[in-house]
Amino acid sequence: MSGSWPLQAGIFPGTEAQLLGLVNNCYEDKIIMMTEVRKIAEQIASKSPLAIRGVKEMLLYSRDHSVDSGLNHVATWNSAMLLSSDLEESIMALMQKRPPEYND
């Protein structure tokens, strides 16, 4: 992305924003977009809330720290998460072929 692009404050198509990495996907219309966004939201909501918080924390931490520091932070977080009931629930749900039910 050019350094002058933000200063120009121009309007450009969503496909260009996607090429620049500013958006993940482009959709033909609002109905298709809302359908696809709902699928993504449902997929995320089906995961362990603790794991989702952890991923968000790691993304934010890694953005502002060195690779080594980020890896140490992930290792510490992962060790702590082994004590969570979410891990046991995930394994049991997988063995019982059912959706997991997490406590938040």
Q: From first to last of its 104 residues, what are the pLDDT tens digits of the chain?
A: 556 666 777 777 888 888 888 899 999 999 999 999 999 999 999 999 988 999 999 999 999 999 999 999 999 988 888 888 988 899 999 999 999 998 87
52 in the same domain as 37: no
CA dihedral 52, 56, 57, 60 (to 10 degrees): 170
Question: Residue 39 domain-assigned?
Answer: yes
Question: Residue 60 domain-assigned?
Answer: yes
Q: Which long-range contacts (CB under 8 A, 24 or more apart) does 39-46 make?
A: 46/99, 46/100
Question: Residue 1 domain-assigned?
Answer: no
With both helix axes pointing from N to C terminus, report the angle between 85-95 and 49-64 in degrees, rounded to the nearest 10: 120
97 in the same domain as 55: yes
Q: CA separation (Å) from 84 to 81, 96, 99?
A: 5, 19, 18
Who contacts 5 (Cβ-Cβ below 8 Å, separation ≥6)?
Answer: 20
What pLDDT score was predicted for residue 97?
95
102 in the same domain as 55: yes
What pLDDT score was predicted for residue 7?
72
What pLDDT score was predicted for residue 2?
57
How far apart CA 81 and CA 55 sit, in angstroms, is 12
92 in the same domain as 63: yes
